Chains A and B, each alone.
Chain A
């Protein structure tokens, strides 16, 4: 929280000698947070692959196919069973 405040306001000190221990710690936090932000930006632009610390998620080459209705489902067969029996009896000559 503190780090985020500092990032936006004063320019960060470059040397630890130039600031108090408290400010140095805050600056470290700020730089870490800044790196994370940069990482996010690079991820968005698709350049984050080489940056250490980023989690890269690549889309698969093959399309994702969800197979619906390909296999005859057992519960459907069970549900249709009595109906099928009636159909057979109603159409004697055909079955």
Chain B
């Protein structure tokens, strides 16, 4: 699923990666903060069905603060990108469809019924409205 990264125009990816100070264009994880990447693989945080991150179970204040910060950034992005196209919620939901598809085995995601699932080898359970 995440291999679709390679199908994008290389110039654009390079520009984005440089802007982020990464310089890598392999997998999405490589642009992540190590603490965030660790929390994801540990199943402490997961992708919610609404396009935001969720904290699973009782986690440290640091993890909660990190999720809050990332969600604030996500909201800002959704708000900016949705302008003139859709509502913020719709844009976030459309992004969630993609994000849940792109979760790696072992990572957590929220199923349509609201429960947390661990991504296996197969396709994740997504909302019926996801394309």
Contact = CB atoms under 8 A, between A and B. Distances in A.
Interface of A: 69, 72-74, 76-81, 83-85, 87-95
Does more than half of chain B's interface fall in helix, strand or loop, or is it mixed?
A: helix
Contact of A84 (B16, B31, B98): B98
Given A84-B94, A85-B4, 4 more contacts: A84-B95, A92-B20, A94-B70, A94-B74
B118 to A, nearest CB: 19
B73 A87 contact: no
A77 to B, nearest CB: 5
| Nearest 3 A/B pairs, CB to CB | A92-B31, A80-B94, A84-B95
B3 interface: no
Interface residues of B, number: 35
Interface of B: 4-5, 8, 13, 16-17, 20, 22, 28, 30-33, 36, 70, 73-74, 77, 81, 85-87, 89-91, 93-95, 97-99, 102, 129-131
A95 B74 contact: yes
A81 to B, nearest CB: 5
A76 B13 contact: no
B64 to A, nearest CB: 17
Contact of A92 (B22, B81, B86): B22
Given A93-B33, A94-B74, A88 B95 contact: yes
A30 B125 CA distance: 73
